[in-house]
Homo-oligomer: A and B are copies of this chain.
Amino acid sequence: MHKRRYLILAPYAFAEAKTAHGVIRYGRDDTVAVIDPQFAGRRVCDVLAYLESPAPVVSDVRGGMQFGPTALLVGTAPKGGKLPVQWREQILQAINAKLEIVSGLHDMLGDDPEFAAAARAAGVAIRDVRKPPDVPLFSGDVYGVKPPVLLAVGNDCAVGKMTVMLELARAAAAAGARAEFAPTGQTGIMIAGWGIAVDRVVADFTTGAAEQIVLEAARRQPEYILVEGQGSINHPAYAPVTLALMYGAAPDALLLVVDPKRSRIEGYDAPTMGYRELVAAHESIAARVKPARVAGVALNTFGLSDDEARTQIARARAETGVPAGDAVRFGARALWDAIVPALRKTQPLAAAAAV
């Protein structure tokens, strides 16, 4: 499959640009350079060691062209909304240099008249990854998918559900198994090169979108399908997207991804759930359509000491009765090996016989 060679646009924003970090660390495409005048002249690994990338940081599109990019990736907008004029100029320069534009912004760059006209003139595509395709309503075809489907669910948004699934896919490969990461959000889509941003789909079609993602993953004939999670089932604003994945992706098993330091839902005066409640809530909801048990707990212990992390992991194991670990701190292989035996197909509930 053709790989893109990304020039990543993140002026004065690279240190915080999580989409860019995800693409550099996990992406199927290569990153050949990053634009951020603040760090120009250094390498990505000098700025953020854990990304382990020697790609150069440059000041602008012009400076990046010598590294042979085929696409400009616009992963993050600066805070506070609209695209600043300097970014616009850089994007136009990239289009004129015949780079494909791949954007994860809320604003659709392809709908911008200036960008659209320039892209037409240059003969390049603008790919807004958040723009969902037309999808059919949920059909139940997903119930016929052969590989076991594991869905990540969490105690909040932004606790590391995507990262854990990507690490598990790598661990599976190291263990000799083909596990397909199935993207449900913009960064996941940029990393894997396919997928649907379920949170941007019209409500009635969200379960259908989740189903299509799993069907597409199955076409790649993996042994396991690892579905990126979204939101949290008790999130006051985003729970409907979580439920759309639970019913539409029709998982056979669930992976709880928990940040144990998070006592409230980010941005809301609402409590997160404890382990026992998380297990009971998800398993009871799944049981009403297609049973799925919690197969393991992946903790996000960022900021804790190794000793504190081990204590938290032991607590998770004790409270849930399933394997637990931190896939980032201690490696994903042990967690993968521990949950694999629980990845077995389940059947949806059949309707009762007519009365």
Contacts and interface: CB of A to CB of B under 8 A. Distances in A.
A85 interface: no
Nearest to A238: B204
A326 B235 CA distance: 34
Contacts of A235: 247
Contacts of A225: none
Contact of A351 (B243, B265, B281, B355): B265
Interface in A251-279: 261, 263-265, 268-271, 273, 277
A237 B207 contact: yes
Nearest to A290: B236
A288 interface: yes
B239 A243 contact: yes
A140 B281 contact: no
Interface-centre pick from A138, A203, A273 (highest chain B CB count, 10 A)? A203
Given A288-B273, A289-B270, A351 B203 contact: no
B202 A271 contact: no
Interface in A220-243: 233-241, 243
Interface residues of A, number: 49
A248 B241 CA distance: 13
Contacts of A323: none
Contact of A247 (B198, B200, B236, B284): B236
Q: So how many copies of this chain end up in the complex?
A: 2
A27 interface: no
B264 A352 contact: yes
Nearest to A208: B237
Nearest to A198: B203
Given A234-B288, A236-B140, A244-B240, A352 B271 contact: yes
A240 B271 contact: no
A351 B270 contact: yes
B201 A269 contact: no
A354 interface: yes
B241 A247 contact: no
A1 interface: no
Contacts of A234: 288-289
A206 interface: yes
Closest 9 CB pairs of A and B: A264-B351, A138-B237, A234-B288, A240-B240, A199-B204, A240-B244, A263-B352, A240-B243, A203-B206
Interface of A: 137-138, 140, 198-204, 206-208, 233-241, 243-244, 247-248, 261, 263-265, 268-271, 273, 277, 281, 284-285, 288-289, 348-355
Given A204-B241, A265-B351, 9 more contacts: A200-B203, A203-B241, A204-B238, A236-B289, A239-B289, A263-B353, A269-B351, A271-B349, A277-B288
18 contacts: A137-B237, A140-B236, A199-B202, A199-B204, A200-B203, A200-B204, A202-B202, A204-B241, A207-B237, A237-B248, A239-B243, A240-B243, A240-B244, A263-B352, A264-B351, A270-B349, A281-B288, A284-B284
